[in-house]
Structure 1
């Protein structure tokens, strides 16, 4: 039996691997509290459920659509981009995908050749590096500065393509307009193309989100912007996403998507339109802010962890270097001793940190998980 060298040399995506382990433990009856991933306790918006129900009841068959998505769906997403992001786009520049991961894979595949370099700021969403490795690309990892300036960018190596995650997973950073303008000037000077992941565009707790494409000639520069319904609309398992790309890149992405999945399912496309028509879900943002602040108050006096208050997103990013730099071992021991799953910073490019998804389950379960985490860390500190 032969397994290809390219897949044999690859590792499963860290986030999905940990979530799979948690699911396996739960199937065995173990009460695991899962902070390793962010799965909202909210239901999807009612208009989404209504639209999908109506589609099931009113249509005898669920039709195949064009690979990029039904024309009316893509036109609706163009309206969303104009209304919410200030981006003028045409339907041919939109491709509907099975979540942000598919859009990322297809964009990287279409925009690069094996051996090309991809600059990624760390900590990073693990899929960026893993996808680059699968495609034979060279990830170039650079520390994400507190503030992006021409000087910090000037110290970065040139790359064929740059990935920007705004708002940022896991730190919660929301790039300012000035920072994005500095990135624009830098990539233009270097002749780099850009993928901008704006999956968390509606999860800001205050700072305004600016779409990178509004600050440049995105068609000429070669900018692909990725959007997702997963976190903003509590629809993680629905696998809904889309990408905005210059026509040549969008068509190349379609060429790849055709033999892989063809179009996203008809029902997923119906749900995508309904979700993005809903706009920001303020009730979700308000509760996430309250949960964020509650956890931060609880750990404020814990000597071995430092957590900055994130400006966005479903994660808290904790510095535990005062306790250990080996956060993989920390995460394994925490899971074994306390039944709490977290994501070690090693998987996101920065050992000595941990990522906590704080939007799952009820508030009591959230705080019980935090209590167990603190108790575990206190025991570890006492043994040192």
Structure 2
């Protein structure tokens, strides 16, 4: 007799971007050459780490809030970026990737039936994470303003989730928008969960304005960030959460029951090599952001528009005149051209006419080949095109 599945988990969809990349892994295992514009990570030249100097303690459990030295380094890093101090003992917890940080924050805050507002384009896991907490995701169609978020606040609203800089558009929220979001949080008693995992991916010499800068006492703000994503070591799964002491106590309990602690050996290495890792990756980050601009220009030269943004390593490209929906377009692009992108429908119902293009995992010549394939397929499938 087959095991009975949870109806809640059975109702979830696969994470669309991860599902697409698993297909790429399978195709490559069979010998196919796939131009991968679907991976949500940056491929940097990362020196192979040596753990020889870390000592035997690195192979064992650490404090459930994270290796103390790494918490100290991250607290200083956040303070320098946001201008607000962080208590490394009481206001920060390191976990196995920022995805877990977002989910633990939602789990600690959301009661069954609570509403969580999520603007589109949304990161693919937000709605299902809300559902796993027995909450109700309330979306705002792309192009919506902070006032459109305000219009969706009800007595059942518990939180707003924002992604800044934004995956997939690369847009950064302005200081005025952030202030208005904090006003809403104060007025309605909401949690403001800020996913800032692309905070390093802003144009060179331009400051990143953290959501936490407007709530120095962390009365309602939860910051989720990631060393894995920001420093091109996504497979290491090292993220962290910054919040008020009371919420940190709650998510620490979840951490203890779910994963005990983040990987000690990786966290210890990052703690002792924090400045060296930053010095290695930051020039590569700036080069990638500049590359993003060149890829956007190549798309624009063929008449393909992208939603506004200047950060991250993604572009959210419009399918414009193509007669195909985003899922069908991504399927056709992969099967005919061996180019992998993520369908815009994964980022919300209002995003059907887009695809996400990641420029982080391929050399520039292959990126431009992928761009040509995208533009060719749009031309071939446009209304009135000769097929």
TM-score relative to the length of structure 2: 0.90
Q: Secondary structure at the match of 1:37?
A: coil
Which position in structure 1 is the counterpart of 2:32? 30
Regions of 4+ moved over 6 Å: none
Superposed, 1:109-128 pairs within 5 Å as 109-128=107-126
RMSD: 2.1
Q: Is 2:119–2:149's contact at 8 Å kept on the other side of the alignment?
A: no
Distance 1:380 1:12, change over 3 A: same
Structure 1 residue 314 corresponds to structure 2 residue 313: yes
Cα deviation code 1:98-148 (max 9, x no counterpart) = 1111101111101111211000110011111121122221001013547x4
> How far 1:296 sits from its partner (Å)?
2.2
CA contact under 8 A between 1:233 and 1:275: conserved in structure 2? no
Q: CA 1:61–1:299 in 2, change beyond 3 Å: closer, same or farther?
A: closer
- Counting only pairs closer than 5 Å after superposition, residues 332-343 of structure 1 correspond to structure 2 as 332-343=331-342
Q: Distance in 2 between matches of 1:276 and 1:201?
A: 16
Kindly indicate whether residue 83 of structure 2 is the aligned counterpart of residue 86 of structure 1: yes
Q: CA deviation at 1:379?
A: 1.8
Distance verdict in 2 for CA 1:263–1:287, change over 3 Å: same
Confirm or deny that 1:6 pairs with 2:8.
yes
Residue equivalent to 1:197 = 195
CA separation of 1:210 and 1:374: change in aligned 2, threshold 3 A: same
Q: Note closer, same or farther for the CA distance 1:32–1:293 as it changes in structure 2 (3 Å cut).
A: same
1:61/1:39 Cα in 2 relative to 1: closer, same or farther (>3 Å)?
closer
Pairing 1:40-189 to 2, within 5 Å after superposition: 40-44=42-46, 46=47, 49=49, 52-55=51-54, 58-59=55-56, 62-90=59-87, 91-145=89-143, 148=145, 151-158=147-154, 159-189=157-187
Cα deviation digits, residues 60-81 of structure 1 (max 9, x gap):
7612112111223222222222
CA contact (8 A) 1:80 1:276 kept: no
Q: Tell me: CA distance 1:301–1:79, structure 2 relative to 1, closer, same or farther (3 Å).
A: closer
- Could you list the per-position Cα deviations for residues 227-264 of structure 1 after superposition, in whole angstroms to 9, with x for gaps in the alignment? 10123211111111100121121111111111211101
1:276/1:184 CA distance change after superposition, 3 Å: farther
- C-alpha distance in 2, partners of 1:81/1:321? 40
- Is the contact between residue 325 and residue 353 of structure 1 (CA under 8 Å) also seen in structure 2? no
Between 245-254 and 82-91, report the one with greater CA deviation: 82-91
Match in the other structure for 1:227: 225
Unmatched runs of 5 consecutive residues or more in structure 1: none
Matches within 5 A, 1:345-360: 345-349=344-348, 350-360=351-361
Give the number of equivalent residue pairs: 375
8 A Cα contact 1:291 1:359, kept in partner: no
Q: Which consecutive unaligned segments of at least 5 residues does structure 2 have?
A: none
What residue number does 1:273 align with?
271
Contact 1:219–1:246 under 8 Å retained in 2: yes
Partner of 2:256: 258
In 2, Cα distance between the equivalents of 1:374 and 1:111? 44
TM-score, normalisation: structure 1: 0.91
Distance 1:116 1:153, change over 3 A: closer
After superposition, the Cα gap between the structure-2 partners of 1:41 and 1:75, relative to the gap in structure 1 and judged at 3 Å, is closer
Q: Say which SS state the counterpart of residue 119 (structure 1) adopts.
A: strand
Instruction: Determine the C-alpha separation between the residues in 1 that align with 2:289 and 2:159.
Output: 34
| Contact 1:200–1:232 under 8 Å retained in 2 | yes
**In 2, Cα distance between equivalents of 1:101 and 1:27:** 27
Residue 21 of structure 2 aligns with which residue? 19
The whole-number CA distance in structure 2 between the counterparts of 1:275 and 1:214 is 26
Q: Does 1:363 align with 2:353?
A: no
Contact 1:41 1:362 (8 Å CA) reproduced? no
**Structure 2: distance between partners of 1:140 and 1:153:** 9
Give SS of 1:161's match: strand
The whole-number CA distance in structure 2 between the counterparts of 1:218 and 1:164 is 19
CA shift digits 1:193-235 (9 cap, x unpaired) = 11111111111015421111221254322x2101101232111
> Does 1:298 find its partner at 2:295?
no
TM-aligned CA distance change 1:275 to 1:191, over 3 Å:
farther
CA distance 1:188–1:60, change in 2 (3 Å): closer
Secondary structure at the aligned position of 2:193 is classed as: strand
